[in-house]
Each structure stands twice: as C-alpha cells, then as structure tokens.
Amino acid sequence: MKYSFLLIICVCIAPSLLFANGASETEEPEQYTIGFSKIVAHPALDALEKGVQDELSEQGVSAQYDSQNANGDINAAISIAQKFSSDSVDLAVGIATPTAQALVQVLEDTPVVYTGVTDPVAAGIVSSYDRGETNVTGVSDKTPVEAQLQLLKELLPNMSILGHVYTGSEENAVLLAKEAEAVSEKMGLEFVSTTVTNSSEVRSAAESIISRVDAIYVSTDNTVVSALPSIIEVAENNDVPILSADPSSAKDGGVLVAWGFDYYKMGRATGRIVIDILVNGVSPAEIPTQYMVKPSDIELLINTKVAETLGITIPTPLLNEAEIIEK
C-alpha cells in the first residue's frame, strides 16, 4: 500500500497571483489590519495562524493583527465577529468552522478567508466548492477518513471495535463522525462513539467507552484535539492505541500514528489567498475552495515507543515514509 495522501475530490486550485509592488521607494507601504478568529488554541490551529503571518511577512506585506480566541464558545465567536465589524478590519481570517461561520454571519462587506474548515458548503459558509462568495473564500482541511481507518486496520488486523469521541455541536466534527461510522461499517467494524460539548468533558467521555474498544480515532475535531492529552492518558492506562488525523498535536507523544495535513503549510496557502485579495485585488468570488493536495502537504507520524509498548509491529515501508517519534 502506498501511503502518500490521495484526495477523492479533484479540485482546481487557483494559482496565486504575483505580488505587484506599484509603490515608489519613497512611499510607505500600505499597512493592513487583519483579524484572526480561532475557535480554540491547539497546535494545529496555532500553526495555521503562524503560517498566514509568515507568508505575509515573507512577501513584504505590512500588517497588524488582532488575534482572538473563542475558547470553544459559539457566542464568543459571534462577539469576536462583531468586534471585527466595529473595528473595521481590512480582512478577517476564520480558523475552523464555528468561527468562520460567525464571521460570515456578521461581516457582510469585509473579506472573510476561512481555513481549517472541513466542509464549507455543508457549513453554509459558501454555496459552492467551485467559487467563493462576494466576500468569502478559503481553504478546506477535509481529512481522508477512509484511508486513515484502513491504515489503522492494517496496523491492527484484529481490531473489531473502533471508538470515537466528538463534539456534537461542531458541524465539522459531526460530519467526520458520520463518515467514520459509515467507513467502519463498510470495513466490518463496530463503531462506538460518544459526544461532548466542551473540552472539559473529553476525559470522562473517553473513559466511558475505553473498555469497549480496540482503538480510538481522533478526527480534526478542534474541541477534542485541544484536550488530546486527556484521551492519551485514558488510552495509555488501558493499552488502547490512538490514530489521530492531526499530526501537529501528536508530536508531544502518546499517539500511535498520526496522518494528516501539515497545518503550517495550510496557513501559508491561506496567506497567499489573503495577499491575492488585499494586495492584488482579486475578488473572493473568483477563488474556489482550495485543498492541500501535494504529497508534501501531508505528514505521517509514527511513535515507535507506543508501538513497542503495545506490541504492535510497524511495516518497514511505512516506517520509511514516516517521521519517527520516540517519546
């Protein structure tokens, strides 16, 4: 099996336009005010934000940032959007589905760029994958659930029951949970899931199912990922392996395997969209939903210490493709 990442959906990614610097050497470059609204803080979402900022800095774009964290609270996400409206930011970046939804709901004229959003159409952020709205476009992080679970099954051939904790109020988390359940059924696996409303419930939710499952699948559910250490502790105490769709959050150890997007690179791609809109004058409507489709956009992490502890043999070809973590 080749573990390079494949997406089922074929998309055309609009190329970034060249930055045109029309200012004379004596003119001060225009400074933009950009608002960031993030649903929670965790390594993947933090990497998205840093990637945007680094891309603008590298391209010589002068910007000041208003970075806000909703801490998993939908009402806070709305308040942040209203703040950006009253402060008249030049552009707002919605990091993850709930905050992007709030920005689109409140900001009717200000450009909104979403990133880290699983399905922007299902979430009502845009009406089509093929083009943006008048003031809205962005990047999807739709994760390859079926390929991830097939990888887990190959590592655990005797696995028969898969556990999953997800946030019932997060559109992207619900969508991925439904897909994981459908894929599990297709693979002949029993799917045992439980929901949470906030990160403080994640530990008890994991404890409620851990004795019934052979492995835990963690999707790109922001609330759950922000509490990943809790799931890891519960899993370690019960000798249950974890497959995560978020490599950024798995680098501290405890997860058997993580396979998914490099969120810093996704942030850089998001930054290029921001530049196209603010600097090059491209209308968001002309930019379709963009996807990370290059093999170099994907990370595969394997924790060999966890594998050894659990008595799991990792195939050599997979080890050759992976970044190895021993913690």
Concatenated DSSP letters of 172-224: HHHHHHHHHHHHHHHTT-EEEEEEESSGGGHHHHHHHHGGG-SEEEE-S-HHH
Which pLDDT value is given to residue 18? 31
DSSP secondary structure string, 246-270?
-HHHHTTS--SEEEEE-HHHHHHHH
Residues 203 and 135 in one domain: no
Is the pLDDT confidence value at 3 over 60?
no
Residues 79 and 89 in one domain: yes
Minimum mean pLDDT range among 4-18, 86-100, 120-134, 241-255: 4-18
- pLDDT above 70 coverage of the chain, percent: 91
**If pLDDT is split at 50, 70 and 90, which confidence band does 188 have?**
very high
Per-residue pLDDT tens digits for 253-282: 899 999 999 999 999 999 999 999 999 999
Type of residue at 259:
W
**If pLDDT is split at 50, 70 and 90, which confidence band does 7 have?**
very low
Residues 225 and 318 in one domain: yes
The answer to whether residue 62 is domain-embedded is: yes
Could you tell me the CATH number of the domain that includes residue 317? Answer: 3.40.50.2300
Residues 46 and 74 in one domain: yes
The answer to whether residue 177 is domain-embedded is: yes
Pairing of strands 242-244, 190-196: unpaired
Minimum mean pLDDT range among 151-155, 290-294, 309-313: 290-294
The answer to whether residue 202 is domain-embedded is: yes
First-to-last C-alpha distance (Å) of the chain: 27
**Total number of domains in the chain:** 2
Is the pLDDT confidence value at 107 over 70?
yes
**What are the angstrom distances between the C-alpha of 165 and each of 134, 160, 207?**
36, 17, 10
What's the order of all strands across the beta sheet hosting 323-325? 190-196, 161-167, 215-218, 242-244, 257-261, 298-303, 323-325
Residue 187: domain span: 145-260+297-325
Residues 316 and 217 in one domain: yes
The answer to whether residue 18 is domain-embedded is: no
The answer to whether residue 3 is domain-embedded is: no
For range 103-118, the mean pLDDT: 96
Which pLDDT value is given to residue 259? 94
Instruction: Specify burial of residue 187 (Cβ count, 10 A radius: 0-12, 13-18, 19+).
Output: middle
Residues 106 and 44 in one domain: yes
Per-residue pLDDT tens digits for 41-55: 999 999 999 999 999
Which pLDDT value is given to residue 162? 98
pTM metric for this prediction: 0.81
Minimum mean pLDDT range among 29-38, 127-136, 189-198: 29-38
Residues 235 and 222 in one domain: yes
Residues 99 and 76 in one domain: yes
The answer to whether residue 14 is domain-embedded is: no
The answer to whether residue 25 is domain-embedded is: no
In the numeric block, which tokens belong to residue 180? Answer: 């994981």
Which pLDDT value is given to residue 325? 80
Residues 157 and 231 in one domain: yes
Q: Supply the mean pLDDT for the chain.
A: 90
**If pLDDT is split at 50, 70 and 90, which confidence band does 324 have?**
confident
Residues 198 and 288 in one domain: no
The answer to whether residue 87 is domain-embedded is: yes
